[in-house]
Structures are given as structure tokens and as C-alpha cells.
């Protein structure tokens, strides 16, 4: 009788433990209703606030886009630009909104080459580094197409937050202290450095005034009115290149997404001027030629194949991708399955391939094109199934470092993303890419790419990430982990990552890859380089109508917010 009692207790304990046991510690947040995932907890809550008021995913995306200007000033922006992917459930519309920053009319190759001889940082800091911002125009275009709540109501939560003061978290405190270029600008110093204290409040009175002008006058309030006048005035006073006519002339571009099929799934990404989408889809096409599912997500062979596919994909974006308004993009070739499998056959399973060599690739040229990791992404799905995926940026952390006096607007340094050495025709470095050469009114190539995954017309996954040149690889690894290895969105996001560029001899890796895996990679010929954390994916997975959100743990203060 006692043995029977022990058996019953044992069975009960086993049954209970199996019910509360989990395969991994990276738990997603789920709902059957609306969900917002962003890099800041306050912004995610603002998105849900809009959904609770009856707004759709586009309305929420507009509100989050404005709010990150206050909550994540080093990357969130109205002084920068980016890309938005929109999915409308009712008619299955898929659209990419390009609000990438644009070169001013006065920007020429000769001007910057002469300026860089005096200061190689001229495209990274100060007024000359600033491209015409597109975010406000992009958010208004999204509202024009699909918005349901007045824009003034979508901006108001950010005004309310700024009037209360944005909490200075440890992350924000450290970011301000480490801000590379804000120390050079008197206005940025006054706003961010003065009275800076951990646990204090960040208040930007001029930004409140700017947002109220946009509330009252719409897009024109930014591009034609008082704000444009202030930008024009301070550009002239500080030898910057943007003029009011550049702001007036700025247009948002609408494109269909580019896509590939992978294991029966349809993967949609941003086309040019994004090179990131090209990299993700090209690498997927190469990897589809291998049986990755027979491997493990964190095995040396998996990392090796991803690295080799990424070399090929990054080379393609460096050589062929630029602003489609200025050059034809050979999508058929870039996304060719036949070409991808031909490349796959050239990959040695146990030996690293060499990067492209050229006689004219000195260190100065190699290092002159630096892509910042300080970008941000957010993903949203509303209760109707409409979805929005947005990646936008100021460029470097706090962009150019310049805040336009009287506006509170932090500005980008996207002039850095042009190929300023393009006349070197035998170089494979992207600093000399003819497709991305600087021309007036042109948009620089970007690695940003919001991504959506569908299966037979049903949305299954939304993702995107900051990370500069690491962005495509970060997204690629989330997709591979989810599709090939059947990992849920939490686990797929947290497998340690690698980064391999076409122009680097080193394979960068996150620190928690096992020593055995690293030894095997070294035996394949990889030169390993320890990296900081890579990216910060903000993702939503949809399974049987349930939305599972996961905010990458690699950067603090991100949050999944859901409708109750």
C-alpha cells in the first residue's frame, strides 16, 4: 500500500513538473488581440494606447514612430529616415514605404572629397553630415494611405510624455554619456548633458513646440513652415548643405517588397535603396541548397554555412545596390535561385573561402565606410490582423550630434552612407561602389530591412533589427532558427549570433558560442573576433491566430505590450 502511495505521488509530481517545465527560458508574450514590440517600454505602451482607442496597426506605428524620438533619442527620430512594411489583412496588400534620408541638392562628390581631406569625420558629425530627413513625411504618407485616427491624436502621447519628462534609465544615461558627437554641439549639450542624472527626467521644450507645430500644420509644418525655416537658417550659419527647397522637394517612395520562397514560405523584404533585403534573400537562396535542418542551430557547420552565404550576399549588395531612382537594380540576377545554388556548390563544407581581393584596397578606403549599429526597429499587429514592420535610424548614436536650435530635433549623419570613393573602379569595398556613389537628391544604400514571412497567404512572422551591416545577418539567423530548426520566436531570437561581411577577414561572434564550436570554426580557417551583442530584434510570430511577441534581450528597456 505504501509503495502504491509512493507511485501515485511520483506520478503526480512527474505530471506537475511536466506541465510547468519549459524547453528554454526565453518566454514570449502572447495575445489574440493587438500587440506592439519596440525597443522602449514607454513607446510600446503608447502603441497599445492607440490600439485601445480603436486605431489600427498603422495608427499605432505612427504614434510609436513619433514617441521613440523622445524615449530612444539616440536612434528613434524625426530627424532621420527609414523603411516601413505594411500588410493589410482585408485585401492582402503588401507595401514598402521608403522614407530614407536624401542628399541635399548642394551635396556633390567634389565637395565631400575636399572636405574629407581636412576632416575624415565630416560625413559623420556636424552639419555637413546631415541628409534631408524623411521620417515625418513617411509617417504622414502611411497615415494618408491607411490611418484612421487624426495624426494630432497620434502625436499627443509623445507631447504628454515630454511634458512629464522622459525617465532617464540606466541605458539612456549611459547612451548620453557615451554619445559620440553630441558633446561637439552646443544645443545637444544643453539638452542632453545639462542636469543629466540617473533616474532623473529628460525634458525637451523645443521638441514639444515642434510636435505642436506638426500637430497643427501637418507635414507642411515640418517641410515648409517655421521648422523648415529654422533648419535652413542654422544650416547656412554652420556651413551645412540642406536648404528649404530640399525640404519642400522631399518625396516618399512606395514600392512592392522584394521576395523569395524558402522551404515553402514567402519571405518579403525591403528592396533598394535597402541592400539589407537583398542580403537576407540572397543568403536564404544559397542556404536553401543545403539541408540545414539536419544540423543544429548553434553548430559549427551551421555557422560556417551562414558565414559563407553572407559573404556572397554582402558582396552583391555592395556592388549592385543603390537608389533605384538613379540606377537599375538587377533583381533577377541578385535573387536568382539558379545563381544561388551555383554559389552553394562552390562552398567547401570544412574550409573558409577568401574575401574578394583587389590591388587597390588600402586601409583608408577599407575603413572609410562605417555603418552604425544605432538604429531601431518595431513590429505591430492589430486585432484585425493588419501588420506593420518599421526600421528607422539617425545613423550613428545620436546621429550627427547636431540638434537644430529652436526645434529640439536631433539630426542624422546619413551622408556617411554614400560611397565617397566610387571612382576606384577595381575595388570591391562598398566605399567605392558605383551604384551608391554620391549624387544630389539621392538616397544612400541602407542595410535596414523590415521583414515579413507568410505561409500560403497567412502572416507568420514579423521581424527586423538595428545593427548596421550586422542587420541582414541578424534577421537571417532569426529566420533560419525559426523555419529550419522550428524554434519559437523567443528561442530563435536568442541563439548566439555571428556576423560575416564580404569585406572582412574576420568572423565576428557573440560570447556565448561554445568553445568547442569556436575551435571547429578555427579549424575551418575562420579568423574569429569576439563581438559585442549583435542587433536587437523586435519580433512577432503568429500561430493559429495567437500573436507571440518577443523583445530581444540584447538591449535593455525593450518591451512587448499587448491589448488586454
Which residues have a catalytic role annotated? 375
DSSP string, 244-305: HHHHHH---EEEPPEEEEETTEEEEE--TTBSHHHHHHHHHHHHTTS-GGGS-TTSHHHHHH
DSSP string, 499-519: E--TT-SEEEE-TTS-HHHHH
Largest CA distance in the chain: 93
3-state DSSP of 111-154: HHHHHHHHCCCCCCCCHHHCCECCHHHHHHHHHHHHCCCCHHHH
Q: Are strands 265-269 and 546-551 parallel, antiparallel or unpaired?
A: unpaired
What are 343's three cell numbers? 554559389
Whether cis (ω within 30° of 0) applies to the bond prior to 446 is no
**What torsion, rounded to 10 degrees, do the Cα atoms 41, 34, 535, 165 define?**
-20
Helices (H), strands (E): how many in the chain? 20, 21
- For the chain, first and last CA: distance in Å? 49
What is d(CA 395, CA 78) in angstroms, rounded to the nearest whole number? 12
What is d(CA 53, CA 93) in angstroms, rounded to the nearest whole number? 24
Q: Are 559 and 45 within 8 A, CB to CB? A: yes
What is d(CA 347, CA 341) in angstroms, rounded to the nearest whole number? 10
**CA triple 206-39-537, angle to 5 deg:** 145
Q: Are 14 and 6 within 8 A, CB to CB? A: no
Cα–Cα distance list, 273 to 150, 236, 329, 491 (Å):
30, 28, 9, 31
What is d(CA 65, CA 76) in angstroms, rounded to the nearest whole number? 7
Q: Are 40 and 167 within 8 A, CB to CB? A: no
Cell 547636431: give the residue. 402
Taking alpha carbons only, the member of 360, 326, 389 closest to residue 35 is 389
Q: Are 401 and 407 within 8 A, CB to CB? A: no
The residue length of the chain stands at 564
Amino acid at each position: 500500500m505504501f509503495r502504491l502511495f509512493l507511485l501515485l505521488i511520483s506520478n503526480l509530481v512527474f505530471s506537475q513538473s511536466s506541465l510547468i517545465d519549459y524547453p528554454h527560458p526565453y518566454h514570449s508574450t502572447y495575445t489574440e488581440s493587438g500587440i506592439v514590440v519596440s525597443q522602449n517600454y514607454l513607446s510600446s505602451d503608447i502603441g497599445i494606447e492607440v490600439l485601445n482607442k480603436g486605431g489600427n496597426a498603422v495608427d499605432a506605428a505612427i504614434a510609436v514612430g513619433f514617441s521613440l524620438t523622445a524615449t530612444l533619442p539616440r536612434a528613434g527620430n524625426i530627424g532621420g529616415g527609414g523603411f516601413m512594411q505594411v500588410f493589410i489583412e482585408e485585401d492582402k496588400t503588401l507595401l514598402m514605404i521608403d522614407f530614407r534620408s536624401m542628399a541635399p541638392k548642394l551635396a556633390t562628390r567634389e565637395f565631400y572629397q575636399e572636405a574629407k581631406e581636412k576632416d575624415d569625420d565630416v560625413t559623420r558629425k556636424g552639419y555637413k553630415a546631415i541628409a534631408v530627413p524623411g521620417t515625418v513625411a513617411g509617417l504622414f504618407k502611411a497615415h494618408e494611405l491607411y490611418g484612421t485616427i487624426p495624426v494630432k491624436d497620434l502625436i499627443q502621447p509623445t507631447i504628454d510624455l515630454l511634458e512629464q519628462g522622459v525617465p532617464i534609465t540606466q541605458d539612456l544615461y549611459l547612451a548620453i554619456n557615451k554619445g559620440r558627437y553630441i558633446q561637439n554641439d552646443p544645443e545637444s549639450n544643453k539638452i542632453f548633458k545639462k542636469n543629466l542624472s540617473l533616474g532623473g527626467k529628460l525634458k525637451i521644450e523645443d521638441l514639444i513646440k515642434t510636435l505642436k507645430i506638426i500637430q497643427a500644420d501637418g507635414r507642411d509644418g515640418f517641410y515648409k513652415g517655421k521648422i523648415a525655416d529654422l533648419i535652413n537658417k542654422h544650416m547656412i550659419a554652420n556651413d551645412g548643405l540642406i536648404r528649404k527647397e530640399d525640404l519642400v522637394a522631399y518625396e516618399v517612395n512606395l514600392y512592392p517588397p522584394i521576395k523569395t520562397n524558402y522551404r515553402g514560405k514567402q519571405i518579403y523584404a525591403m528592396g533598394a535603396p535597402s541592400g539589407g533585403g537583398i542580403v537576407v534573400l540572397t543568403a536564404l537562396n544559397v542556404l536553401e541548397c543545403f539541408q540545414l535542418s539536419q544540423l543544429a542551430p548553434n553548430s559549427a557547420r551551421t555557422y560556417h554555412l551562414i558565414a559563407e552565404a553572407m559573404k556572397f550576399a554582402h558582396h552583391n549588395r555592395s556592388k549592385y545596390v543603390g537608389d533605384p531612382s538613379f540606377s537599375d537594380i538587377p533583381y533577377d540576377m541578385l535573387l536568382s535561385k539558379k545563381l544561388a545554388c551555383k554559389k552553394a556548390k562552390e562552398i567547401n563544407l570544412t574550409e573558409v573561402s577568401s574575401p574578394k581581393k583587389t590591388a587597390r584596397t588600402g586601409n583608408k578606403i577599407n575603413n572609410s565606410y562605417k555603418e552604425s549599429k544605432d538604429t531601431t526597429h518595431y513590429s505591430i499587429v492589430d486585432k484585425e490582423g493588419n501588420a506593420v514592420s518599421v526600421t528607422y535610424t539617425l545613423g550613428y548614436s545620436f546621429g550627427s550630434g547636431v540638434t537644430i536650435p529652436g526645434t529640439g530635433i536631433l539630426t542624422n549623419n546619413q551622408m556617411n552612407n554614400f560611397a565617397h570613393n566610387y571612382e576606384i573602379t577595381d575595388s570591391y569595398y562598398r566605399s567605392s561602389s558605383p551604384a551608391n556613389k554620391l549624387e544630389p537628391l539621392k538616397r544612400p544604400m541602407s542595410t535596414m530591412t523590415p521583414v515579413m514571412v507568410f505561409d500560403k497567404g497567412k502572416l507568420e512572422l514579423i521581424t527586423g533589427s538595428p545593427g548596421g551591416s550586422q542587420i541582414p545577418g541578424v534577421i537571417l539567423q532569426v529566420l533560419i532558427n525559426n523555419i529550419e530548426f522550428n524554434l519559437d520566436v523567443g528561442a530563435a531570437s536568442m541563439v548566439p549570433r555571428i556576423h560575416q561581411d564580404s569585406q572582412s577577414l574576420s568572423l565576428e561572434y557573440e560570447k556565448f558560442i561554445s568553445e568547442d564550436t569556436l575551435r571547429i570554426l578555427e579549424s575551418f580557417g575562420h579568423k574569429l573576433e569576439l563581438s559585442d551583442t549583435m542587433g536587437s530584434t523586435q519580433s512577432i510570430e503568429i500561430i493559429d491566430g495567437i500573436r507571440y511577441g518577443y523583445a530581444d534581450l540584447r538591449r535593455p528597456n525593450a518591451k512587448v505590450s499587448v491589448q488586454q
